[in-house]
Amino acid sequence: MFKKVLIANRGEIAVRIIRACREMGIATVAVYSDVDRGALHVRKSDEAYLIGPAPAAESYLRVDKILDAAKRSGAEAIHPGYGFLSENANFAQGCADAGIKFIGPTPHSMRLMGSKTSARQQMEKAGVPFVPGTSRGLISWEEGEEVAERIGYPIMLKASAGGGGKGMRLVASRQELRSALESARSEAQRSFGDSEVYIEKAILNPRHIEMQVLADEHGNTVWLGERECSIQRRHQKVLEEAPSPMVDPDMRRRMGEVAVKVAQAAAYTNAGTVEFLVDPQKNFYFLEMNTRLQVEHPVTELTTGFDLVHLQLRIAAGEKLPYAQSDVKVRGHAIECRIYAEDPDNNYFPSPGKITVLLQPSGPGIRRDSGMYEGWMVPVDYDPLLAKLIGFGTDREQAIMRLRRALYEYFVAGIKTNISLFQRILGDTDFQAARVDTGFLDRMLAKANPSVTSAAPEEEIKVLEAIAAIAAGMFAVLDPTLLPGQSGSASGTNSGLAPESRWKQAGRSETLR
Amino acid sequence: MIYEVIVAGKTHRLELEATASGGWQCRLDGQTVEIDALIPRRDVLSLLVNGRSYEVKREKTATDLHMWVGSSRFAVELRDPRSLRSRLHAAANDKGPKKIVAPMPGRIVRVLVEEGSEVLAGQGLVVVEAMKMQNEIKSPKKGIVKKISATVGAAVNPGDVLGIVE
């Protein structure tokens, strides 16, 4: 086993990996940018090296600086976490060239899965079911028209190098195809420097379900069960659960077997995830493979009892998988809430700043993977993910109850977070009945009253409103840091005070503290 | 103490008076209750009302105020009706110049309008980037852009004035 590992990441995932290393007696090396000196991963690691200024392109994305820190510290391996360099084949190659083990797949597997069209070609050969369409970039508009006619509208145009919804267009009819193709191409060129676009049949209101796989370097590959990731916003996952309520044991086994086939076709090693789109008839189609540890890996850990980061380290150190497929049993139910620094009063726009108060939940069935602490300044430069709150229960209903109880205890002040959103999702009757697809969250938000977030019944809300009114007054009386007239309003534009004087008063009250 | 409290858009009149026993006499919209209130830590209030226990948390940022009663979250505005400023602003509403403020820290990436140009309510004025996302700061009213103080590339803090629309 390695004696020292460098973690090329920050935030909650860096802390999560540092914890696994400490459990296994492995020394840890953190890297950090100028604004992350006070970040939790720097405080929790055994060694820490400054790698540059705040912008990720000058620090966390700098292969040379990270390799330099690894050499200086004598780290034998690098864990990339997720995001940043985790799916960058050149970084994995750079590690190999420097004699440092990259904890993840080989550069070859990463390159194969990195391009969506080359992945489709490979899977076509391996006989994996995928969404009907082309496996090569479109050469002309006429070719696009011919393919679309053959598979039938609606179709989806997608960028080969794509991700995050960029270069993606839903096309309902032939009339729309030409302009959609042009705009998808130019967006793909701008976003990825590659204008290649291909066609897929559009699956309307699909579910997004993915399968976790683990492969060692001795040819053994196992699947660890699926995760339902249909609760999304702006193509970003918000809440994930395992197992998926729509997947039965037979479907799970079939998906698992396909996922293993995908991994083997790519000569895949270490932890990876095969993503599927699932239509309402339970047909599943290969979407892509994520060649890294996923944000939502804890729900799989809770339902299988395996520690994926421990296993990643053991596989990278050359050990054989300690479990066979028959040892994998999915038990209980786990749901993860991604706690983002986002403003629910401003369309969930990021909300960085200083955390002035932090009350954190614990208790039965609750796991919290967090990168924040009270007094910490959340920087403006990175992803807004602060923490993950995961609830576990013997069944889905109990997992939901435990999470709602834990969210009741969770409170962050100083910045805005999306904690209130999860109370709404978990209290929603469609969610509770597992009637979800990728459009669920947008539909739920469209019917919301922005100034109240509550899952309480109508008549109880009246009482709670009265309590809120009394409490606002009591805070003003008992705590002089909030004087009347200094308060804001829901919208911020029709408030009781001009912004400048409020700002001045806020400044004054800061000095009173 | 007399306050005007707006909770989720509804205005309430609140009177609070200390009692001899250390509690508070509370009159909300004419209804009277006796309450026991304690702040065990910053931004957390424990309220006992007729034996019912409520934990209320205060979420305050540069631009707005929310009360969490258990798991329910309410937008709240608090005014002292005796304060001249409160009265003036309650009356002023949409008239007069409006300052455009940054709701969150970030960097200015674009300025969409010029000083002197005419804008509609809801029209984008300035784009602020934070955490890899761009946010358009919109005009609160129809009018003329009197001043733009935002400069491209500059860092801003919540509450910073980016411009004025009159």
Q: Is residue A219 domain-resident?
A: yes
Q: Single out the residue of A18, A16, A42 nearest to residue A28, CA to CA.
A: A18
CA distances from A326 to A223, A253, A268, A407, A412 (A): 10, 11, 20, 36, 43
Nearest CA in chain A to B9: A451
Q: Is residue A13 domain-resident?
A: yes
Cβ separation A413–B60 shorter than 8 A: yes
Report how many domains make up chain A: 5
A78-109 b/e with 16+ CB inside 10 Å = b? bbbbbbbbbbbbebbbbbeeeebbbbbbbbeb
Q: Does any CB of chain B come closer than 8 Å to the CB of residue A204? A: no
Q: Is A166 in the same domain as A191?
A: yes
Give the pTM.
0.86
Q: Is residue A126 domain-resident?
A: no
Nearest CA to CA, how far is B115 from chain A (Å)?
Answer: 20
Q: Is A236 in the same domain as A292?
A: yes
* CA–CA gap between residue A360 and residue A417 (Å, rounded): 13
CATH number at residue A196: 3.30.1490.20
Q: Is residue A123 domain-resident?
A: no
What is the structure's pLDDT at B94? 58
Q: Is A185 in the same domain as A210?
A: no
Q: What is the pLDDT of residues B114-165, one digit of tens each?
A: 999 999 988 889 988 888 778 888 888 889 999 999 899 888 988 889 999 9
Q: Does any CB of chain B come closer than 8 Å to the CB of residue A497? A: yes
Q: Which domains occur in chain B, in start order?
A: 2-84 (3.30.700.30), 98-165 (2.40.50.100)
The beta-carbon neighbor of B69 closest among A413, A467, A490 is A467
Q: Is A197 in the same domain as A213?
A: no
Q: What is the pLDDT of residues B9-39, one digit of tens each?
A: 999 999 999 999 999 999 999 999 999 999 9
What is the structure's pLDDT at B85? 58
A127-160 b/e with 16+ CB inside 10 Å = b? ebebbebbbebbeeeeebbebbeeeeeebbbbbb
- For the question of an ipTM over 0.95, the answer is no
The residue segments making up the domain with residue A38 are: 4-103
Q: What is the pLDDT of residues B40-76, one digit of tens each?
A: 999 999 999 999 999 999 998 877 899 999 889 999 9
* CA–CA gap between residue A241 and residue A209 (Å, rounded): 10
Torsion sign over Cα B130, B136, B139, B143: positive
The beta-carbon neighbor of A485 closest among B44, B59, B85 is B85
B90 falls in which pLDDT band (50, 70, 90)? low
What is the structure's pLDDT at A480? 64
Q: Does any CB of chain B come closer than 8 Å to the CB of residue A487? A: yes
Nearest CA to CA, how far is B32 from chain A (Å)?
Answer: 11
CATH number at residue A264: 3.30.470.20
Q: Does any CB of chain B come closer than 8 Å to the CB of residue A474? A: yes
What is the structure's pLDDT at B84? 58
- Two structure tokens written together for B62: 């540069």
Q: Is residue A46 domain-resident?
A: yes
Cβ separation B159–A407 shorter than 8 A: no
Concatenated DSSP letters for A209-230? EEEEEEE-TTS-EEEEEEEEEE
What is the structure's pLDDT at A95? 98
Q: Is A18 in the same domain as A59?
A: yes
Asked if A243 contacts A332 with a C-beta cutoff of 8 angstroms, the reply is no
CATH number at residue A11: 3.40.50.20
Cβ separation B69–A468 shorter than 8 A: yes
SS3 content of chain B, % helix, strand, coil (to 5): 5, 60, 35
Q: Does any CB of chain A come closer than 8 Å to the CB of residue B94? A: yes
Q: What residues does A173 pair with on adjacent strands?
A: none
**What average pLDDT does this structure show over B103-122?**
89
Q: Is residue A194 domain-resident?
A: yes
Q: Does any CB of chain B come closer than 8 Å to the CB of residue A57? A: no
Q: Which of A292, A314, A402, A424 is catalytic?
A: A292
Taking a contact as any Cβ pair under 8 Å apart, which residues of chain A between 351 and 370 contact chain B? 351-353, 356-357, 359
Mutate to test the interface with A, among B19, B78, B93 (most CBs of A within 10 A): B78
Taking a contact as any Cβ pair under 8 Å apart, which residues of chain B between 39 and 78 contact chain A? 39, 41-45, 47, 49, 54, 56-78
Q: Is residue A415 domain-resident?
A: yes
Q: Could you read off the pLDDT tens digit of each residue along chain A, which spans 513 residues? A: 999 999 999 999 999 999 999 999 999 999 999 999 999 999 999 999 999 999 999 999 999 999 999 999 999 999 999 999 999 999 999 999 999 999 999 999 999 998 888 888 888 888 899 888 888 888 888 888 999 999 999 999 988 877 666 788 899 999 999 888 988 888 888 777 888 899 999 988 899 999 999 999 999 999 999 999 999 988 889 999 999 999 999 999 999 999 999 999 999 999 999 999 999 899 999 989 999 999 999 999 999 999 999 999 999 999 999 999 999 999 999 999 999 999 988 888 888 999 999 999 999 999 999 999 999 999 999 999 999 999 999 999 999 999 999 999 999 999 999 999 999 999 999 999 999 999 999 999 988 776 788 878 888 999 999 999 999 999 999 986 654 444 433 333 333 334 444 444 444 444 443
Active site residue A169: no
Q: Is A377 in the same domain as A296?
A: no
Q: Is A299 in the same domain as A351?
A: no
What is the structure's pLDDT at A498? 41
Torsion sign over Cα A233, A239, A242, A244: negative
Q: Is A316 in the same domain as A258?
A: yes
| The domain boundary residue, chosen from A296, A315, A331 | A331
Asked if A270 contacts A104 with a C-beta cutoff of 8 angstroms, the reply is yes
What is the structure's pLDDT at A210? 98
